[in-house]
Amino acid sequence: MDERRQEPVRWYALCAAGALDKGAIHRTELHGEGLVVWRADDGRVNVWEDRCPHRGVRLSLGHHRGDTLQCQYHGWRFASGEGACRAVPAHPHASAPPIHATTWPAIERYGFVWTCARAEGAAPTAFPAIDALAAARPPDCVPLRTTTMDADLASVKRALSAYVLPQADAAECAAFECESGTLTVESLDGAACPAIFVLQPAQKGKTRVHGVVPGDFDAAQRLALQRAHQARLNAVRDALEAVSEVQPDALTGSLAEAPAQNRTPRAQLSPVAVTMALVRMDAAPSAMSPAIDASNQASSEEDGPFTVHLARSGGSVDVPANTSLLDALRAHGAEVPTSCEQGVCGTCLTPVLDGEPLHRDVWLDARERAAGDCMLVCVSRARTPTLTLDL
Ligand code: FES
C-alpha cells in the first residue's frame, strides 16, 4: 500500500542543512519518491523530483551551475526556485521550451531541510513549530550521523522509544513524540544529555534517522557523544533488521504522532519490537540458513535464459543467458524506442503483463520496481522463466 495514504500530510526532514554546501547535490527519498536537494549560489535550497522532465534521467546525477541544475544527459538546465528550463545546449539560439522540473516545498529550519508531499494542486500545510528542535539550533548542538534503518517509520519510532542515552540506564530514560516524526529522548534525572531524533520515511520499508544533541560541548565531548550515539543507533538498526529478516510482519503496526503540547512518554510506547529482535538475534543461525541459501541460489540463476511472450504482436522470443533482452527483441524484429541503452533515460519503458522483471536500471523508483508492471528492456531481465510484455 502507498505509505503516503496511511497518514496525513506532514513535513519531514530530508538532510542536515549544514551538510548542503553551495554546489552540493543530495539524492534522497520521501515515501519512495526520489528527490534531489540542492542549494543555489544565492543560498536558496531546492527540493525537486529527481527526474529530468525531458528524458527522465535523475537530476541528482547532474551538475550544479550557479543558479541552475544541469541534467547530465542532454545538458538541459533548470532554474532554482520554479524549476523552469533555462537553456538547451543543442539549441543555443532558440528560447528554452516551457517545461519545468517538478518542485516540492522546501523549508530550511532547525538545522534541517524539510519538505512535505502535498496533494495535487493544494498548498502545503503550515510548517509546525517544534519546540524541542527550536532549543537545539546549530551550532549549539552536536549533529549525529544519519543512520538508515530497514524498517518503516512506526517501527523505528517504537524502537527508539526504548533508546538508552549514553551515561544513563534504561530506567532513567523517557521518549517523547513531537511534530513531524520528531522524537526526544530525555534522562528523567537530568544527568545525561538529551537526544533529538528526526525521522524521514525514505524508500518503502526504510527510514532515515537524523539526530542532534543540544548543548555547547568542546571538541572531545562532541566526538565522544557522536561515537556513543552511533554505537547505540547501530544496535537499534541491527535489531530491527534481525526482526524484519526473520519475521517481516513483526514490525508492522502504526503509532499515531502526538502534538508537541501533548507529548507521550515512553511508558505508552511499548519497545516490544526491539526486545523481540534482541531475543531473535540469539536464535540458532541454522534456522535462517535455508532461506539464505535459497536466495543465493536464486540470484545465481537470475542471469539465466528466459522467454518473452509478446502480447500485441504475438510470438515468443528466447533470451539466452549472454544476450540482452533488447538485443533479443531486435533480432526478433520487435521495435522498442531507445536512447541511452544504459537504463538511465526511461525511453524503453515497457509494460509487463505477466511474470516478474529483474530490474537493472537506475530510472525506476522503489515503488515502481515493487509494482513490477513495467521495465526498462535495455538493461533489465526476468526473475521468472517467462515474461509477457505489452509489445
Ligand atoms: S533506459 Fe534509456 S533506452 Fe532504456
Q: Where are the domains of the chain?
A: 3-116, 131-281, 301-389
Whole-number Å distance, alpha carbon 358 to ligand 1 midpoint, is 15
Burial letters 234-248, b for 16+ CB under 10 A, else e: ebbbebbebbbebee
Kind and range of the H or E run holding 7: none
Question: Which of 51, 54, 330, 342 gets mutated to test ligand 1 (max ligand atoms within 8 A of its CB)?
Answer: 342
86-122 pLDDT, tens digit each:
999 888 888 889 999 999 999 999 999 999 976 666 7
pLDDT at residue 300 greater than cutoff 80: no
Q: Alpha-carbon distance 375 to 382, whole Å?
A: 10
Look at 358 and 137; give whichever has higher pLDDT: 358
CATH class of this structure's domain 131-281? alpha beta
Q: Provide the grid cell at 228.
A: 556513543
pLDDT at residue 242 greater than cutoff 90: no
Q: What is the DSSP letter of 110?
A: T
Whole-number Å distance, alpha carbon 374 to ligand 1 midpoint, is 13
Residue 171 — pLDDT band, cuts 50, 70, 90?
Answer: confident
In 55-207, alpha helices (H) = 131-134, 153-160
Whole-number Å distance, alpha carbon 362 to ligand 1 midpoint, is 10
Whole-number Å distance, alpha carbon 375 to ligand 1 midpoint, is 10
Q: Give yes or no on whether 3-116 and 301-389 have one common fold.
A: no
Task: Name which of 113, 97, 109 is nearest 48 in CA terms.
Answer: 113
Q: Alpha-carbon distance 297 to 295, whole Å?
A: 5
Ligand 1 atom closest to 338 (CA): 3
Q: What is the DSSP letter of 342?
A: S
- The stretch 155-177 carries a mean pLDDT of 89
52-78 pLDDT, tens digit each:
998 888 899 889 999 999 998 889 999
Mean pLDDT for the chain overall: 81
Q: Alpha-carbon distance 156 to 162, whole Å?
A: 10
Whole-number Å distance, alpha carbon 296 to ligand 1 midpoint, is 28
Whole-number Å distance, alpha carbon 158 to ligand 1 midpoint, is 41
Residue 245 — pLDDT band, cuts 50, 70, 90?
Answer: low
* Fold observed for domain 3-116: Rieske Iron-sulfur Protein (2.102.10)
Tell me, what's the pLDDT at 387?
96
Tell me, what's the pLDDT at 244?
67
Give one word for 218, left, alpha or beta, with left for phi > 0 and alpha for psi -120 to 50: beta
Kind and range of the H or E run holding 188: none
Q: What is the DSSP letter of 379?
A: T
The number of angstroms, rounded, from the C-alpha of 90 to the middle of its chain's C-alpha atoms is 33
Q: Report the CATH architecture of 301-389.
A: Roll (3.10)
Residue 302 — pLDDT band, cuts 50, 70, 90?
Answer: low
Q: Provide the grid cell at 27.
A: 539524492
Q: How many CB atoms lie within 10 A of CB 44?
A: 13
Ligand 1 atom closest to 363 (CA): 1
Q: How far apart are the first and last CA of the chain?
A: 28
Tell me, what's the pLDDT at 170?
74
Ligand 1 atom closest to 344 (CA): 1
Ligand 1 cavity residues, CB under 6 Å = 338-341, 343-348, 361, 363, 376, 378
- The stretch 76-86 carries a mean pLDDT of 95
The percent of residues in the chain predicted with pLDDT above 90, rounded, is: 49
Q: Alpha-carbon distance 329 to 331, whole Å?
A: 5
Of 87-101, 178-192, 263-277, 358-372, least confident by mean pLDDT is 263-277
204-228 pLDDT, tens digit each:
889 999 999 998 899 999 999 999 9
Q: Alpha-carbon distance 184 to 1, whole Å?
A: 29
364-391 pLDDT, tens digit each:
877 788 889 999 999 999 999 999 999 9
Take atom 1 of ligand 1 and give the residue whose Cα is closest: 343
Ligand 1 atom closest to 361 (CA): 1
Q: Provide the grid cell at 180.
A: 513531524
